[in-house]
Amino acid sequence: MTNYISSPVVPSLVALQELTWFNPKKVGFDDVQTTLSLQMSDILEASDRLTRFAPYLAQVFPETAATNGIIESELKAIPVMQQALLEEAEGRLSGRLLLKCDNQLPIAGSIKARGGIYEVLLHAERLALANGLLQTSDDYRILDSTSFRDLYSKHQIVVGSTGNLGLSIGIMSAKLGFDVTVHMSSDAREWKKALLKSKGVNVVEHSADYGVAVEQGRQEAQQKDTAYFIDDEDSTSLFLGYSVAALRLQKQLVEQGILVDSEHPLFVYLPCGVGGAPGGITFGLKQVFGDHVHCFFAEPTHSPCMLLGMETGLHNAISVQELGIDNLTCADGLAVGRPSAFVGPMMDSLLSGVYTVSDSTMYRHLAMLVDSENIPVEPSAAAGFSGVLRILSEGRDYQTTHQLEDKMSQATHIIWATGGDMVPKEERAMYYQQGKAFI
């Protein structure tokens, strides 16, 4: 008998209940650090690469000029939203609440501007180095020239996406001059496809979900030696691009005078699709803060692929569809039925837990965020808010195990808002209306 049948959690997943799962395999960071397949040195290498490209990015994407070509988002207090959540939590909410505004990341308007853009830059750098056009000591603004665009136009980049990864990879690849194709799943929004087409990206539309779009992309890329497939289901490069966020966050916390140590725990709530973005950030945060950081993933009740994979130990060998769960959700960025091949196994020892959120909860928090702080996000990006309430109401045992009870009033909670800035006005209004119906 397969082990998932005996899991007590699976029936609740199948019943599409909102639930909170604490990871029984998590261990102290010192016990696993040296056994991980990636290390802090890998994050630093990715960070250095982004620094090399910064002058180029500042030149070709003027919206990044103010930060000298570094793609980063604000970390900010949301006092009015905190008050609104406090009411929802019936007064239990203590500590500081901050929003990490990846919904406003330049170029792609979502968290994918971290990993997606990073992997394209990595590939572009390798090609230029191999062709003798570039040295790592050069001023990378030279990439903004015909000789580089000629080189890249002879190379293809291919990716499968539910929308946002396609946006970040399509926009970045097209800017460099690559011949880029994005395979879009059925849930990808029309405006995302239209935007990409307007930038000269080839868009292939599929009537099936994310897994199929990725598979079609993989097959297309295999036909050509000059094609490079960005594999969202199994890419350490994407993962490392995301992980750099941890170094940046550390700096922002220091600048804001916020302590993270044994007396001041940090809780981070990360919406999860295939797992690359939240996994990379968790990996980075554990490297920086060790046991002082507690990372939780948020998944739609209709797409709980990471929870299912980690709970059963089957990881990418099982999909939610195999249990009859439909993978249909308003959170298009999280509509993934099967988790990444390597993220889940790495999260086994690092992640604190996963909780699931219904579409109505995401819509409700989306509308509350507009009403309270006037910040528009997309539904996926609103999945983080429930986390803080869940951990305070259902995390008693977790708090005891980690000796956190008397430290919760000194805790910092960071909700990672993962996307929304590029959503057209009419769609924004629709999201808001949907959300108002649930308040």
Ligand X SMILES: *Cc1c(COP(=O)(O)O)cnc(C)c1O
In the complex, which residues of this chain contact ligand X (CB under 6 A)? 110-112, 164, 271-278, 333-334, 378, 380-381, 418-419
Taking the C-alpha atoms of residue 368 and residue 122, their distance in angstroms, rounded to an integer, is 39
In the complex, the smallest distance separating the C-beta of residue 238 from ligand X, rounded to whole angstroms, is 7
Query: How many other CB atoms are found less than 10 A from the CB of residue 38?
Result: 18
In the complex, the smallest distance separating the C-beta of residue 278 from ligand X, rounded to whole angstroms, is 5
Nearest CB to ligand X, comparing residues 127 and 274: 274
| All residues at 6 or more sequence positions from 24 whose CB lies less than 8 Å from its CB, including other chains | none
In the complex, the smallest distance separating the C-beta of residue 404 from ligand X, rounded to whole angstroms, is 26
* 77's tokens: 């207090």
Nearest CB to ligand X, comparing residues 26 and 189: 189
Nearest CB to ligand X, comparing residues 85 and 362: 362
Nearest CB to ligand X, comparing residues 170 and 276: 276
Backbone phi, then psi, for 225, in 5-degree steps? -65, -30
Closest residue to ligand X, Cβ-based? 273
Nearest CB to ligand X, comparing residues 388 and 423: 423
In the complex, the smallest distance separating the C-beta of residue 71 from ligand X, rounded to whole angstroms, is 15
Handedness of CA 82, 380, 27, 261 (dihedral sign): negative
> Which residues pair with residue 419 across a beta bridge?
110
Report the residue count for the chain: 439
Nearest CB to ligand X, comparing residues 84 and 334: 334
**Which H helix or E strand runs over 193?**
helix 190-198
Strand 20-22, strand 353-357: pairing: antiparallel
Q: Is 257 exposed, middle or buried (0-12, 13-18, 19+ CB in 10 A)?
A: exposed
In the complex, the smallest distance separating the C-beta of residue 347 from ligand X, rounded to whole angstroms, is 11
In the complex, the smallest distance separating the C-beta of residue 356 from ligand X, rounded to whole angstroms, is 14
CA angle 264, 268, 273 (to 5 degrees): 165
